[in-house]
Structures are given as C-alpha cells and as structure tokens.
Structure 1
Amino acid sequence: MIEEHMATRTRAGLFDVSHMGEIWVEGPDAIAFVNRLTTNDVAKLADGQAHYSCFTNHDGGVVDDLLVYRFGPERLLLVVNAATTEKDWAWIRSHHSEHDDLALRNASADYCQIAIQGPKALEILKKLTETDLAGIKYYWFTEGEVDGVPAIISRTGYTGEDGFEVYAAPDKAVQLWNAMMHAGSDDGILPCGLAARNTLRLEAAMSLYGHELGDDIAPLEAGLGWITKLGKEAEFIGKDKLAAMKEAGLKRKLAGFEMTEPGIARDGYDVYINGEKAGTVTSGSPAPFLKKNIGLAFLPAEFANPGQEIKIDIRGKQVAAVVVPTPFYKREK
C-alpha cells in the first residue's frame, strides 16, 4: 500500500472506482430539482463543469456527499458514494414530485470508472486520446474517446493530486485499465487499491462519508462551508437549520492533528483535552508521504485551533498529539 501511495504522489496511480454510483437527472426542471436537494449552487455551473456538493436532510445533516456534472441545462449527472447509492436513490426519488418536469435514472450499472491520479497522469492519458487534456480545467470535463472507447473524461479525483476520472461502458473496463497501465509503464504507474486511496485522501484532508460526514454531521461542522451556499436563491433541504447553526456559532469542528508521541490514531478512538473526553477520531493513519501519524477528529470549536495539545486514547494509553492546519498535504501547482 505504501508503494502505491508513493507512486501516486510522485508518478501515477491507477484506481478502479467502478463501485461509485451514477444517477442521471434530465428535463426542464433538472437544475431547480438538484438545487433543492444539494448545498452547492447548481445554477452557477456552466456546461462541462462539475462541482462538489452534499445532500442534506431536514436537520442539516449530510445524507451523502457527491459530484454534480452539468452536461446541459436539462441534463445533470450525480456521482455518489457506493455504499450510499441505494439510500441516495431513494432520497432523490422521495423528493421527485408530480410537478417536477424531469426524468430520473439510476445508471450505476451502466458505467465503469477508472481514476488515473498523480503528476504523470496527464502525460500518460494523453497517449490514449485526441482530447486536449491540458485544456480541461480542474473540476471540468468533456466527452471523448480513450483508447477508442467513448468516455466521459473528468479532471477530478480523491487523492490530492492532479488527475482524471474516466467513465465508460463497464464491458470496456479491462480494455481501458490495460491500455492505461501499458501507456504508463515507462512512467512507473502502479495499480492501486482502496487502502492507498484512503491514505491519500486523508493526507489531503478530504472527508469520507461514514467518518467525517454522516446523517448527524452538518457540512459546516466538517469544514464544508465553502460548498454550503446559504445565500443561494434556492431553498435547499436543511438550509434553515444550517443558517441557524451558523448564526449561533458551531459547537464542534473537524480538526486535523498529528501525533507528537509514537502511536497511530484510528477511527473511533477517544480524544482528551485537559483530562476530559472532548471528541472522537474519525480517521487516522500513518501518512506515507509525510512520514507522520495523522488524523481527523471532531472537537469542541474552542479547542479545534492549530497548536491545541490533545491526547488520543490508544488501547488504554493517552498519547500526545497536536492540532495542525489542514490539508496536511497540498500538491505544488
């Protein structure tokens, strides 16, 4: 796993993320409908642009985090987490009223998704396509061909590196995988698993649903105020609760920490401040590139500032750590 992690940071890593869910929302009311369900402002998207967002429930908790792709004014693609695809599909359908002029389609079985990530990703992928990859800005996408296979090519990822996510018919997955591995063989590309994807996203302080995000966690608490557009025209679900929470001041915040004594924090471990239990670790791991033991935890807002000393209960022993700024890792542009 460490070798896979380091390959992605320094060269390129290839990830099969075909387990992700894809849901089409099409029709004249597509933008208004998705804007009602999500925190970010879909009305601000241009054709060919994507953004990160959340579904929120009536209490302001996160139903799921997702990507929204705008193919046109009446055509949006929602890419959701694998474990929550059915939950999300039910949530979306439950808010589809007879007055909405749109069609919904769960197309999760219609796509494979292969992510090529790392500083060499563009150089490798351009060997397989006539699409101008350099012309695709971060969080933009286009439709083209990769190794002759029709595909959606998106400049997105979940590693903290530059890279692309390629969506295509599932029966083309092996062809695309082999083509990318061959194209990257001279550049040191490695096939990577979900364990490496997890440590990469943690170094980049990217939230994972079920850890930093959940039905009882507000996006504001998880540091996602930047995608929670309380000022947008659309009245999205949970907006009133989130606005009230912001007005009152957050009681807890997600904070990054690094261990200052030997020990690895894991999700579920208790956090202590001044001898009192103060929070819980949501994710923790050695960070292969940074060569530190790091983690994320929800802490009382007044203790969530860099420099705050904390203790992590690791198998009955309180081990020292300190709150640090996030992301832990940020690539050089």
Structure 2
Amino acid sequence: MTKITRTSALTARHLDLGGNLQEYIRMGVPLTYNTDPKKEHDAIREAAGMYDFTAFLKFRVSGPEAADALNHAVTFDVTAIKPGHSKYGPFLRETGVICDDGIVFNLGDNQWLACHGDGCARNMVELSAEGRDCLVEYDYWTHLISLQGPKALDLLNKHASDDISALDYFTHLNETELFGCKVMISRTGFSGERGYEIMVGPDKAVIIWDSILKHGKDMGILPCAVESVFPLRMEAGLLWRRFDLMENTPWEVNMGWVVDSNKADFRGKEALMAAKGKERFKLVGLEVDIQEALQGGEKVFADGKEVGKVNDKPVWTHRMKKSLALGQVKPELKAVGTKLEIQREEGMCTATVVKFPVYDVKTR
C-alpha cells in the first residue's frame, strides 16, 4: 500500500466535514464528506462546488530553453502558448503511448508551470531538459482549490482585485488578490461547468477555503469530495489518466486533436505516427440499460464475440438517470448507435455507443 507522505493545509477542514481520507498520489484526500455526493453534484450543476485538488502534482520549468524542454515532452506546440494562456495534453513514452496528461501554463519571462496527475510528466520533462539551459523543479508548495459551477464567477468577482470575467477558457491571471490573498486564478476545471482553479500557498489556503464557504453559503455553494467528481466528469466526457489513458496512444483515446504532427520532433513522435490507423481499439461512450453503475472491467460483446472491455469508474448519474461508462471496443464498432452486450456477474445487459459528452454544456 502506498504511504501518505504529503499533507494538504486543508486536512483539518476535511476532517471537520467528516472527510473519509484515502491515499491519492501519496496525499490523504477526502473520498466523501458527511454530505451526500449527489447534493455536491447538484451544487456544481446549479450553484458551485469547491474541491481541494492539491494532491495533483505540479512542477515548474524556468530558463531560456524551458519551452523547448516542455515542447519535446508533449504532443502539442508549447511555443504557441502565449503568456497568460495554457494548454492541456498528453506526455508520451518513446513507444508513442501516453504515460501522463496535464496542463502547461505559460507564466511569462521563461517561467512555466505544469499541473498533472500521478504519472511520469516531470520525469519526461527532466529527460527532455538534459543539455538545455533550463531548470525543472518539483512544486510541493502550491495548493490548488477548484471552484466549479455557474455561480463561481459571481462569487470570485466580488472578492477579487481583477475582473475574473475577462478570463477565457485556458487563460489565467499569474498574480491577483482574492479575499486579500495573493493567488493565481485559472479558468480551468474538471466538471463540464464554467469554473476556476485557484493556486495559493499553504499559508493562505485555509483563508481562501473558509472565505469561499462563508460568502458562498447563501448562494448554495458546497465543499465537495472526490466521489462527486466521477459522475460529473463522465457526463462531461472528461478522461482520467488512471482509468482511460495509460499506455494507450492518443489515436486510441480520441486525442488526435491535441497532436501537432507538424511541429519539430517530440518524444514518441516516430512511434506515434507509425501507430496512426493501426489502433488496437477505440475509446467510446456507453449508455447501459441498467438502473445502476457497472463495476468496471466487464467484458463487452457483439454478436456473441468478445470485442472489448468497460473502463474503471463507470457511474450512475442521478441527474440524467443514466448508467454511463467509457469503454474500449474494436475500431469497427465505434459508431454512435452501435448495440453491444456487457457481461455482468448478474448476467448479460445491453448497451449503446453514444456521443460524449452527454451533458449539454450549452445549457450552462
């Protein structure tokens, strides 16, 4: 079992909320609070919800050739990211498969920040930095508080020193003040709603957390634990490294949109280009004809033949009253509307390939 070796400055707040702390990326994170995860889900869709995502790893790259090092480690063109902007995408192995994903932020003046999961992103950038005039440093200090939902902007704008409404998707303010604390605010998130991620030092994280809850109480804003993330991200068709991406090519998981095949050489490019059109499977969205969530890992069949599997962390979404999952199927079965069968312990059930996201973001 992986030991907890990292601590969030917000741990006491999580325990006060009845947090069931579980290890994630060597940090104790609240899987649930005393509140019903469905109410947290509702808050994010109707008002706003706040997460402590400090567990996600961060590192900084600085120096004259920092952009070159990052550019070699990702599939997209880092040199095209303007200061104050960011971009999401995968980090590859030499074999052309994904080992991590994350967001790269251009802080200006040859300063960059990368936020990622529990994969090899930093190691890949460190390798790419060898022989280049730049420095890669692990950021163990920065805390990440995520406020997601339609009322997030209203709350933040009332208490920020800058106009948060001016931020477009994947842009950020390097330094602004929120509730009197110096923070970085980015218009990013993992919910399918308009949301913001606040990066702040551990000495001010509690102030930001408490202030959002104090001023957001009458707006219906709630603190949220990890369990409520799963249906949110499934409704929005957002991929999770551990469950959907690892050791797969971008072509297989529908991430060709973030591969810049015209840019200079990057790690795994030759293998990745050779793999195009030779996908072992395609990632698809599934709507399952049951009134609960699948377990994950079930075998998928078509015409009596095994053709794939269900990815981990499928969900039942109470708001849409649907059993949803992501799965891997043979490429010829990827078309929306394809009928499949899934083998459960209780017996076979049917499923249909559907277009993700299933949550209509136009209604936000």
TM-score class normalised by the smaller sequence: over 0.9
Alpha-carbon contact 1:265-1:312 (below 8 Å) kept: no
Q: Deviations over 1:243-279 (max 9, x none)?
A: 1222x34341100010124452232111111111111
Within the alignment, does 1:242 sit opposite 2:278 as a pair?
A: no
Q: Which whole-Å CA distance do the structure 2 matches of 1:56 and 1:73 have between them?
A: 26
Asked if the contact 1:258/1:292 (under 8 Å) is kept, the reply is yes
Instruction: Confirm whether residue 148 of structure 1 aligns to residue 177 of structure 2.
Output: no
Q: Report if aligned partners of 2:170, 2:187 keep a CA contact under 8 Å in 1.
A: yes
Runs of 4+ in 1 over 4 A off after TM superposition: none
User: Which runs of 5 or more residues in structure 1 are unaligned?
Assistant: none
Q: Deviations over 1:143-192 (max 9, x none)?
A: 20111111110000001110100000012111110101112111100111
Q: Give the letter aligned to residue 296 of structure 2.
A: D
Stretch of structure 1 that moved more, 253-262 or 45-54 = 253-262
Deviation of 1:316 (Å): 4.9
Residue correspondences, number: 325
Map of 1:271 onto structure 2 = 300
Of 201, 216, 236, the residue aligned with 1:204 is 236
Aligned partner letter, 2:94:
H
Q: Is the 8 A contact 1:36 1:237 kept in 2?
A: yes
In structure 2, distance between residues paired with 1:205 and 1:289: 15
1:172 corresponds to:
204
1:47-58 alignment runs, 5 A limit: 47-58=83-94
In structure 2, the residue matched to 1:311 is 341
CA contact (8 A) 1:153 1:167 kept: yes
Aligned partners of 2:359 and 2:84: how far apart in 1? 28
Q: RCO greater where, 1 or 2, for CA within 8 Å and sep 6 or more?
A: 1
Match of 2:155 among 118, 124, 130: 124
Contact 2:69 2:125 in 1 (8 A): no
1:179-232 CA-partner distances (Å, limit 9, x unpaired) = 011121111001111111122111111110111110x21122111111111122
Give the deviation of 1:322 after TM superposition.
Answer: 0.4
SS of the equivalent of 1:210 reads helix
Amino acid at match of 1:297: G
Does the CA contact (< 8 Å) of 1:127 and 1:183 recur in 2?
A: no
Secondary structure at 1:95 match in 2: helix
Aligned residues of 2:72 and 2:128 also touching (Cα < 8 A): no
Q: Distance in 2 between matches of 1:330 and 1:243?
A: 33
**Counterpart residue identity of residue 151, structure 1:** V
Q: How does 1:262-301 map to 2 (within 5 A)?
A: 262-282=291-311, 283-301=313-331
Where structure 2 has 5 or more consecutive residues not aligned to the other structure, the ranges are: 1-36
Give a deviation string over 1:66-86, Cα, whole Å, max 9, x none.
Answer: 0000012511110011x33xx
Contact 2:70 2:128 in 1 (8 A): no
The whole-number CA distance in structure 2 between the counterparts of 1:43 and 1:94 is 18
**TM-score of the aligned structures, taking structure 2 as reference length:** 0.86
